Amino acid sequence: MRFVKCLAAAALLAIVFVTAAQADEGTKMDCADLDVKIPVPDFDVACTDFSGVVSASSLGRLKAERLTAISEKQGQFIAVWDIRTLGATYIPRGGLEDDVRTFFDEEMGEWKSAAPVADFELAQYVNRRAGGNEEECIAFRRQMQRRSGGGVSGFARMVLGIACTVSARQELIETLKQIEAPGG
C-alpha cells in the first residue's frame, strides 16, 4: 500500500510539473498567502498556485505553489516551489540534482554539493543559457515531515529552489539566508 501511495504522489508531481512547464499556467496568488517569503528589498515578486492543475485522488492531492523573484539591482533571479501532499500520499525521496532537473528547466554544468546554508541542503552549478551569459547558480532544498513504510520513504513537504546571478555566487547565498520558508 505504501508503494501505491508513493507512486500516486509521483504521478501527481509529474502531472503538476509537466503541465506547469508546458502550459506555464496556474493561478496568480497574493504572495502574502504563500509560506515562502523573500523579505529582501529590491525584488519584484510574483506567486502562482498550481494546485488546481491536479485533480484530487482517493489517496490525496498536492498543493504546489511557486514564488518567482527578480532583482535587477542585485542581478539575481530566484524561483522557489513549496510542494506539500495532502492525504495519504508523499513526495518520493530523491537527490537534489534530480529534483532540480525534474522541476526546473535548467542547464546545470559543474554541479557540486556544498555545505548546508540556513537549514537548506545546497549545491552550486553553472547555468549556460542558449544565447545568454554564463550564470553562477545555487540549488537549495528542505524536506519535511518524513513518511516511510513498506521499504519506500519520502516526505510530506518540500521547499525546492534555484537562484542565479551574473555576479558573485556568495551574494546569492546571502539572499538565501534571508528567505523565510517552512522547516527553517
Provide the residue ranges of all domains of the chain, joining segments of one domain with +. Answer: 2-176
Q: How far is CA 183 from CA 43, 127, 174, in A?
A: 23, 28, 18
164: exposed, middle or buried (C-beta count within 10 Å: 0-12, 13-18, 19+)?
buried
d(CA 94, CA 100): 10
Q: What is the pLDDT of residue 149?
A: 62
Location of C-alpha cell 553562477: 136
Give residue 11's pLDDT band: very low, low, confident or very high (50, 70, 90).
very low
CB within 8 Å of 164: residues ≥ 6 apart: 76, 77, 127, 135, 136, 137, 138, 172
Phi, psi of 14 (to 5 degrees): -60, -45
Q: Which residues contact 173 (CB under 8 A, 6 or more apart)?
A: 117, 122, 138
Q: What are 128-180's pLDDT values in tens digits?
A: 766 677 899 999 999 988 776 666 778 888 999 999 998 889 999 999 999 99
Mean of pLDDT over the chain: 81
- Predicted confidence at residue 19, as pLDDT, reads 38
Give the predicted TM-score (pTM) of the model: 0.81
Please give the full DSSP string across 148-169, using - where no structure is assigned: EETTEEEEEEEEEEEEEESS-H
Alpha-helix runs per DSSP H in 70-150: 96-103
pLDDT, greater one: 182 or 107: 182
